[in-house]
Amino acid sequence: MKFAVVAFPGSSCDDYLYVLKEVLKQEAASISHRDTSLQDAQCVILPGGSSYGDYLRPGALASLSPIMDKVREFAKEGGLVLGIGNGFQILLETGLLPGAMLPNSSLRFVCRQQTLKVENANTPFTGCYAQGQIIQMPIAHGQGNYYLDPASLKKLQENNQIVFRYTDEAGNATEEANPNGSVDNIAGIINQGGNVLGMMPHPERSCEAALGSTGGLGLFQSAIEFLAERVKA
Amino acid sequence: MLTPQEIKEKQAWRSMGLKDQEYERICEFLGRLPNYTELGMYSVLWSEHCSYKHSRHLFKLFPTKGERVLIGPGENAGAIDIGDGLAIVMKVESHNHPSAIEPYQGAATGVGGILRDIFTMGARPIASLNSLRFGDPRDENVRRLVRGAVAGIGDYGNATGVPTVGGEISFADCYRGNCLVNAMSVGLVRHELLTRATASGVGNPVMVVGSTTGRDGIHGATFASAEFSEEDEGELPIVQAGDPFTETLLIEACLELIESGVVVGIQDMGAAGLTSSSAEMASKAGSGIEMDLTVVPQRDEGMSSYEIMLSESQERMLVVPKAGAEDQVKAIFEKWGLHAVVVGRVTDDGMLRVFHHGEVAAEVPAKSLSTDGAPSYVPEAKRPEYLDELWSFDFNQLEDLKQEEIQDAFWKLLASPNIVSRRWIWEQFDQHAQLRTLVGPGSDAAVLRLPGTKRGIAITVDCNGRYCYQNPRVGAAQAVAEAARNIYASGGKPIAITDGLNLGNPEKPEIYWQLKETVQGIAEACEALGTPVTGGNVSLYNETDGEAIYPTPIIGMLGLLEDAEKHATIGFKNKGDLILLVGENKDELSGSEFLTVQHGLVAGPGPELDLELEKRNGEFCRSLIEKGLVSSCHDISDGGLAIALAECAMAGKLGARVKLYCPERRDSLLFGESQARYVVSLPEENYDALRGLAEKQGVSISLLGRVEGEEFTVELGEEKVISTRVSEMLDLWSSGLERLLGEE
C-alpha cells in the first residue's frame, strides 16, 4: 500500500481517501488509531478533522493512540509523514515537529481560500512546485496560530524548514495576509530530516478546479513522484 | 415529589404550563389522578413545541404529496427522491428560546439536534444551513447573542465534519428580545436504507444508545412554549450542553447500525428526551413500550424517574432492533465507545409503562401522549389592526430621491445591516468538508455535487420577515418564491421544501390569524411552484413583554440539477459581457430595505407577488444556465436592482456600466423590491439565442449595460447617478458586518 490515512475518532479520513484514490488514482487505505502496524505504507497521512473533538488540546489525545508509536518509528526511519490541519497539531503534540498551536489570534474559527507561498520546493512534498510559487488552498481551523520560541524559530529559518507561508497574492508575508497570527506567517514546516511535513491549509480540498482551487495537487503529486524515484533508487 | 392528591390540591400542573382542562383530559385518559412523573411527561409532550396543539390542524393545508416525496411530514425529517436510487433527507429546526438565554450552547445543540433528525433516517448529513434573526447589531446584548450563536453553530458543525454551506441572517428591532436561531440540515441516503421512528414487533428490545442521561435541559420544550419576561434571564439550567465529538461517533455508529439491517425503528431523543422518543415510537406502531429506568446510563446520581424521563441530555437515541440482535447493536456502539443498553421491550397493550427501582413510576397510554391524544386548539383569529395603518400609507407623500442624492443613498444601503457582506459569519463555518461544495455561502443557493452521480443539489433557506409582517399570507408565499429564485438562479429546479414557522403567542387572536395566513401563503406558493412540504418545525410564543416578532416562516428549499457542473454563481465573469434584467420593475417601494434604511419606514402591503410569473421567469433563468448561455445569474431581493448589480460586481471583482431609463420614480427603479426579477450577464454572441427564448416563453427582458473592469457606474438617462469603483464598494461592504458588530 502506498498511502495510509490514519483514522482517529473524529478525523475526516474519507476526504483524503477520495482524493488519493479517485482523483490521483493511488493505492490508499485507512488504518485505525488502535492498530499497531502501518502495514507496508510508504507515506502516512495524519488527516484533518477534529480527533477526539479537539478536547484537551487539538491533537493531544490522538498523539497518545497506539498507532502513533509506529508513526514515530516510521518517521525515524525516514518514512514520509504528512500531517494536515488536525494532523499537523498531532505532529506537534507528538513532538515529531517543533512548536505549538495556539487559538487563532481572532479567537474565531476561520475558513477561506488562502494564498500561500512555497518557501521550500526542495522537499519530498513540494518537488513539483517552483521555488517561491504562489498557490491557493482553503484553510479551516480554530487553532492554527503556530508558535515557536525565537531561538528555535531562528534555527527553523536557517535550516530552511519553513515550507509554506501565508502571503498576499504578490507573495508578501504581511500581517494582513496572516489568517491566524502564526509566527513568521508560517503555514507549514518540515522536520530536520526532511520527511515529516505539517501544514494547516488543506491540500486535499484543493485538487479539483470544481471545488475552487488546485493548489494542493502539487503536494500529493510531489510525494507520488518522490516515492516513485525512491523505489527506482 | 408531590403525591397525585397533592398535585390536585396545589394545582401543580399550572407551573408546568398545563391548562386546567388539560389536567382534566389527563385524568380522563388515565381514569385516575396522574402522579408527578406522569404529569411531567404530559406537560412536555403536550407543549406547543412537541404537540403543535395550536398549529397542527392547519398543516393539512400544506401540499405534501409529489412523485419525488418518499417520506413526508410526520417523521424525523422528510425524504425526497433525486434519482439514481438516492434520496435527500432534510429538515429545519428552531432553537430560539435556548439561544436567547445561552446563545453558544443554544445554537450548538440546535445544530446537534437537527443533525440527529437527519441520521436517524439513515442518511449521512452532508450539509447544514442556518437562518438567524437578531435585533440591532449595534446593541451590546445583540452583539453577545450574535457572537455566541455564530460560534456555537460553527464549533458544533465544524467538529462533526458536516460543512455549513449557506444560510441567512437579518436584523430588525422586533427580534431584540427573541432572537431566532433556525438550523437546517441535509442528508444523503440510498432509498433502501431510509429508516423510520417506529416501535413495532412485540417482544423486540428497546435500547438507549449514545450519551448518558443527566439533569440538563429538563422541561426545555415547555420553556420553549412560553413567552419570555424580564425575569427569565436567570434560567440557565434549562439549556442543554452539546458534545459534538459524541455526536460524530453517534453518526458513525447509527449509520453502521442501520446499514447492518437489524433496525426496526430509531428515534432521536430531542425535546422531552426519553418520554417523547418512546411515546412517539410506540404510538406510531400502535404498540406499547415497557422500560426500566434503573438501567438507563446516568451521569448524575440519584436521579428521579421524573428527571430521567424529562432529561434533554444531548446525543442520545432510542433504538428498537430485531429481537436477538442486542449483542450486535452493543458491539457496534462499543466499537465507537458509546453506550447501548437494553432498557425495555415492545409490548402489545399500547401502554407506556415505566419502572424505576422495581416500582411502576408511570403507566399511560402511549397514544395519549402523542399528537393522537394531545389536545388540539383552533384559537380565535382576528386580523390585526396594524395592517390597516400600514396598508393605507400613501407613497405619493414620500419625496423621490433627487439625482444628486442617489449616490449617498446607495452607500447608506450598501453598508446597512441587512445588506453588508455576511463573510464575517460564514468564515467561522467549515464550508468545504466532505468535498461536495461547488458553491458555498455568498451566492444565491449552495450547490453540492454528489459523487457517484452526475446530478447535484441546490439548497437555500430564506424568509423576509418584514414582508410577512406587512402581509402574512403574501409574505409567506414570498419566502417560498424567494427560496425558489435562489434555487433557479443557481441552476436548480425547485423540488421540495421544509419549513420553520416562527411566530408569537398563538393564543392571541391577532397572532393566530398571522399563523393561519402564513400557512395558507406557504401552501399556495408550494402548490404553484410544485414544491411539496416534506416536514417542518413550529416555534411559537416568540414574544418578550407582550411584543411579538414578525411572523418569520423560514423556508428551506431543495433544488435538483441534472448536471451539477451546469450551475451558476452571482459574480460577473467576463469584461464585456452584456448585463440583462429578467422580469419587470413595478414601481413599488413597499417592504423594501431602502424604505427602512432611508426613511425609517415600514409601510404598505409589501411587494406584489405573482406566482405564475415567478415560475415562468425562474424556469427561464434555469434553462439559460442549463444551456450554458449565461455567465452569471443573481436574483434581485433586498436593496433592489442597484444593490443586486453591486453584488454581482463585488462577487466577480468586475465593474459594470449600466444605463437605465426612468419613467417613474428614481428610488423605486433603483432600490424597489419588485419580485420575480434576476440580473444575468452573458457573452454578446449568446444574446440572440437568449432573446429568442425569452420571446418564446413570454419572459420580459431588458438590456442594462456591460460588465466593465474596475468602474461601476449607473446612469439614469444621460446622468451618472452612481459612480464608483469595485474596490471602493468592497472596502465598505465586505467588512461591514464586523464594523456594525464592533468586532474589528
CB contact under 8 A, B426 and A109: no
Rounded to a whole number, what is the distance in Å from the CA of B689 to chain A's nearest CA? 27
Mutate to test the interface with A, among B334, B430, B437, B450 (most CBs of A within 10 A): B430
Coil, strand or helix at B715: strand
CB contact under 8 A, A210 and B565: yes
Q: What is the pLDDT of residue B236?
A: 42
Residues A47 and A6 sit within 8 Å (Cβ to Cβ): yes
Q: What is the pLDDT of residue B212?
A: 93
Residues B9 and B359 sit within 8 Å (Cβ to Cβ): no
Q: What is the pLDDT of residue B223?
A: 61
pLDDT at B222 over 80: no
Residues B598 and B521 sit within 8 Å (Cβ to Cβ): no
Rounded to a whole number, what is the distance in Å from the CA of A211 to chain B's nearest CA? 5
pLDDT at B4 over 60: yes
Q: What is the pLDDT of residue B227?
A: 67
Task: Please tell me which of the candidates B248, B431, B565 has its beta carbon nearest to residue A10.
Answer: B248
Task: Please tell me which of the candidates A9, A53, A211 has its beta carbon nearest to residue B435.
Answer: A211
- Spatial CA neighbour of B99 closest among B81, B80, B112, B118: B112
Q: What is the pLDDT of residue B672?
A: 96
Mutate to test the interface with A, among B164, B423, B432, B563 (most CBs of A within 10 A): B432
Coil, strand or helix at B517: helix
Residues A199 and A187 sit within 8 Å (Cβ to Cβ): yes
pLDDT at B225 over 90: no
pLDDT bracket for residue A71 (50, 70, 90):
very high
Look over chain A and give the mean of its residue pLDDT values, rounded to a whole number.
Answer: 96
Which residues lie closer than 8 Å to A131 by C-beta, 6 or more apart? A118, A120, A121, A122
In angstroms, the CA B582 to CA B560 distance is: 22
- Spatial CA neighbour of B146 closest among B164, B134, B128: B134
In angstroms, the CA B648 to CA B654 distance is: 8
Q: What is the pLDDT of residues B586-628, one digit of tens each?
A: 999 999 999 999 999 999 999 999 999 999 999 999 999 999 9
> Per the structure, how many domains does chain A have?
1
pLDDT bracket for residue B229 (50, 70, 90):
low
CB contact under 8 A, B434 and A22: no
Helix segments in B357-508, DSSP class H? 366-369, 386-391, 406-414, 423-426, 465-470, 472-490
pLDDT at B209 over 50: yes
CB contact under 8 A, A50 and B433: no
pLDDT at B237 over 70: no
Q: What is the pLDDT of residues A102-135, one digit of tens each?
A: 999 999 999 999 999 999 999 999 999 999 999 9
Find chain B residues with C-beta within 8 A of A17's C-beta: none
Find chain B residues with C-beta within 8 A of A108's C-beta: 151, 154, 427-428
In angstroms, the CA A138 to CA B20 distance is: 58
Mean pLDDT of B298-319: 92
In angstroms, the CA A184 to CA A200 distance is: 14
Q: What is the pLDDT of residue B170?
A: 97
Mutate to test the interface with B, among A8, A109, A136, A169 (most CBs of B within 10 A): A109
CB contact under 8 A, A12 and B154: no
In angstroms, the CA A211 to CA B438 distance is: 5
Residues B422 and B441 sit within 8 Å (Cβ to Cβ): yes
Residues of B designated catalytic: 49, 95
Residues A227 and A43 sit within 8 Å (Cβ to Cβ): yes
Residues B607 and B479 sit within 8 Å (Cβ to Cβ): no
Mean pLDDT of B725-737: 97
Cell numbers given for A86: 488536525
In angstroms, the CA B559 to CA B566 distance is: 13
Rounded to a whole number, what is the distance in Å from the CA of B162 to chain A's nearest CA? 10
- The structure's pTM equals 0.95
Q: What is the pLDDT of residues A42-60, one digit of tens each?
A: 999 999 999 999 999 999 9
Chain A, chain B: beta-carbon pairs less than 8 Å apart: 81
Find chain A residues with C-beta within 8 A of B148's C-beta: none
Residues B262 and B195 sit within 8 Å (Cβ to Cβ): no
Could you tell me the CA-to-CA distances from B445 to B330, B340, B462, B503, B557 in Å, in that order? 41, 39, 10, 25, 9
Q: What is the 3-state secondary structure (H, E, C) of chain A?
A: CCEEEEECCCECHHHHHHHHHHHCCCCEEEEECCCCCCCCCCEEEECCECHHHHCCCCCCCHHHCHHHHHHHHHHHCCCEEEEECHHHHHHHHHCCCCCEEECCCCCCCEEEEEEEEECCCCCCCCCCCCCCCEEEEEEEECCCEEECCHHHHHHHHHCCCEEEEECCCCCCCCCCCCCCCCHHHEEEEECCCCCEEEECCCHHHCCEHHHCECCCHHHHHHHHHHHHHHHHC
CATH number for position A49? 3.40.50.880
Q: What is the pLDDT of residue B146?
A: 97
Residue B246's identity, in one-letter code, is T
CB contact under 8 A, B449 and A210: yes
pLDDT bracket for residue B216 (50, 70, 90):
confident
Residue B714, φ and ψ in degrees, nearest 5: -125, 125
Cell numbers given for B372: 393522537
Residue B141's identity, in one-letter code, is N
Look over chain B and give the mean of its residue pLDDT values, rounded to a whole number.
Answer: 94
What are the start-end ranges of the E strands in B434-551?
437-439, 446-449, 456-462, 493-502, 533-539, 543-544, 547-548
CB contact under 8 A, A10 and B159: yes
Domain, as residue range, for A121: 2-232
In angstroms, the CA A212 to CA A208 distance is: 7
Burial of B339 (0-12, 13-18, 19+ CB in 10 A): middle
CB contact under 8 A, B244 and A140: no
Q: What is the pLDDT of residue B738?
A: 94
Q: What is the pLDDT of residue B235?
A: 45
Mean pLDDT of A154-182: 97
Mean pLDDT of A5-14: 94
Rounded to a whole number, what is the distance in Å from the CA of B705 to chain A's nearest CA? 28
**Chain A residues contacting B via beta carbons under 8 Å:** 9-10, 12, 14-15, 18-19, 22, 49-50, 52-55, 108-112, 138, 140, 142, 202, 204-205, 210-212
Mean pLDDT of B60-66: 96
